[in-house]
Amino acid sequence: MNAESGFPIKPVYGPADVPEGTGAEEPGEYPYTRGVYPTMYTKRPWTMRQYAGFGTAAESNARYHQLLAAGTMGLSVAFDLPTQMGYDSDEQIAHGEVGKVGVAIDSIDDMRLLFKDIPLDRVSTSMTINAPGSVLLLLYQLVAEEQGVPGSALQGTIQNDILKEYIARGTYIFPPKPSLRLVADTFAYCRAEIPKWNTISISGYHMAEAGASPAQEIAFTLANGIEYVRAAIAAGLAVDDFAPRLSFFFVARTTLLEEIAKFRAARRMWARIMRDEFGAQDPKSLMLRFHTQTAGVQLTAQQPEVNLIRVAIQALGAIAGGTQSLHTNSYDEALALPTEKSARLALRTQQVLAYESGLTGTVDPFAGSYAVEALTDAVEREATALIDRVFEYGSAVDAIEQGFQKGEIEASAYRIATEIDSGERVVVGVNRFAAESEEKYEPLRVDPAIEAAQVARLARLRADRDGPAVQDALKDLAKAAAGSVNVLPLMKEALRLRATVGEVCHTLRGVWGVHRPVERF
């Protein structure tokens, strides 16, 4: 049997498969293979998040209140495609996509409604937003200030990982170099204004959803992390001033032991990279802290209730691997947006694991396992070799521009697909144990009238605001973007005056241009 990363898995592992002394390391000690904190979950469980957002800000706000009442410990915001791409809901290109895969946020008015009656000093909020990540963060900060909450009290994460968009996901706007400048500006701004905020969530999840193997997932993610660190240092930031606020985002698949090994290997690799390549001194700079989401790509439309079991196994792997926060997918996500009931069941999965399984009683229970320790070493070897190949191109950006990571992921996706088609890799309910008939499922549907309502809201906003002041603020932003000063304070002023997300992004497009990928044939 082969691991998803490609190396063979032995039927039996023993002492000869692991170096002497393996598993003797203490949790919370360099290189953090066994976890970044000495006590891990024995004092408090991981943060339980549920990724949610659909339709209007008011509808999403209602779902957040439901999740908080059910015991969610942190919010995770899904944005619709126009918002992710920096377009307003009334633009022609947004037609048909408003509110479909997440919530539509066009201005501070929408952000205010999204977090109505949610005290932002008491929740941790993760926002899955990349190219316009700084814009949405500033809107969040402005709403918090209206609540009387200072930036120093805000906790959460913006994904803000633009490099993986060029590799796997595609919601980029600007070319790589100005995009990296915007990331570095965000690091510097948050250090001064929102010091507890995680300024980036360097993401392997979307690469995994596109077909990356576990070794590819951590290799290409850590290579992107190296690129971000280099960009921040080149912008004049000291590594220990920003590195403690870096975070990561990984997938959890159903291949339980390999996933546990993957997380352990990633922690060890990042600690060594930060110490040996960048000379980081602060222990927090060496700690790979990460959020995990269970693997949506492994959920099936056939026999969807079986996804409850898949999600539980995936969550178990993330927890045993030492995640800091976790989102469990709803069983019906292969069919539609989750219903209220299915979202609650997904949260209950985490709660059963936290409070009934005994997993929180001890730290890194797989330490010393011959199989897991050997798999950890194997994943690390595969991932290290891939990182070396990335930097043979010069940098992660150079490799992206040559299509290296994308090509490797596509080859992995093809390999897995052919294994499923041949029956070599079993998917229950799809290529084995199929049901003769499926029960009818009633999905959650987004009302198409949402788009018209958002367009009307934008028309009222533009009529009510001080238009000349907004235009002056956008001109100031354009001047800053053309120079070298940090653009976030000027973006914040434009947003405070009720400039829209689209207007801010179009201003930057006018200065920096847009990314046009080179097709490889």
Find how far residue 39's CA is from the centre of its chain.
Answer: 25
The span from the CA of 290 to the CA of 322, in Å, is: 9
pLDDT at 373 over 80: yes
Judged by average pLDDT, the poorest of 10-24, 43-57, 152-166, 192-206 is 43-57
Query: Of the candidates 328, 316, 314, 322, which has an alpha carbon nearest to the alpha carbon of residue 356?
Result: 316
The pLDDT value given to residue 442:
65
The pLDDT value given to residue 97:
93
- Percentage of residues in the chain having pLDDT higher than 70: 97
> What does pLDDT average to over the chain?
93
Helix, coil or strand: residue 160: coil
How far is CA 243 from each of CA 5, 66, 230, 278, 458, rounded to the nearest angstrom? Answer: 28, 35, 11, 10, 38
Compute the average pLDDT of residues 178-197.
95
- Structure-block tokens of residue 377: 């070493």
Fold of 15-422: TIM Barrel (3.20.20)
Which residues are CB-contacts of 521 (< 8 A; sequence separation ≥ 6)? none
How far is CA 157 from each of CA 164, 200, 458, rounded to the nearest angstrom? Answer: 17, 7, 27
For 316-342, the pLDDT digits (tens) are 999 999 999 999 999 998 887 788 899
Judged by average pLDDT, the poorest of 53-57, 350-354, 461-465, 513-517 is 53-57
Which residues are CB-contacts of 351 (< 8 A; sequence separation ≥ 6)? 48, 71
For 409-454, the pLDDT digits (tens) are 999 999 999 999 999 899 998 888 888 776 676 665 667 788 999 9
Strand pairing report for 47-52 and 74-78: parallel
The span from the CA of 496 to the CA of 473, in Å, is: 10
Question: Is the bond preceding residue 31 a cis peptide, omega within 30 degrees?
Answer: yes
Query: Of the candidates 111, 135, 112, 107, which has an alpha carbon nearest to the alpha carbon of residue 489?
Result: 135
Give the DSSP per-residue string, 377-412.
HHHHHHHHHHHHHHHTTSSHHHHHHTTHHHHHHHHH
Burial group, residue 395, by CB count within 10 angstroms (0-12, 13-18, 19+): middle
| CA angle (130, 263, 291) in 5-degree steps | 35
| CA angle (89, 95, 97) in 5-degree steps | 80
The pLDDT value given to residue 521:
40
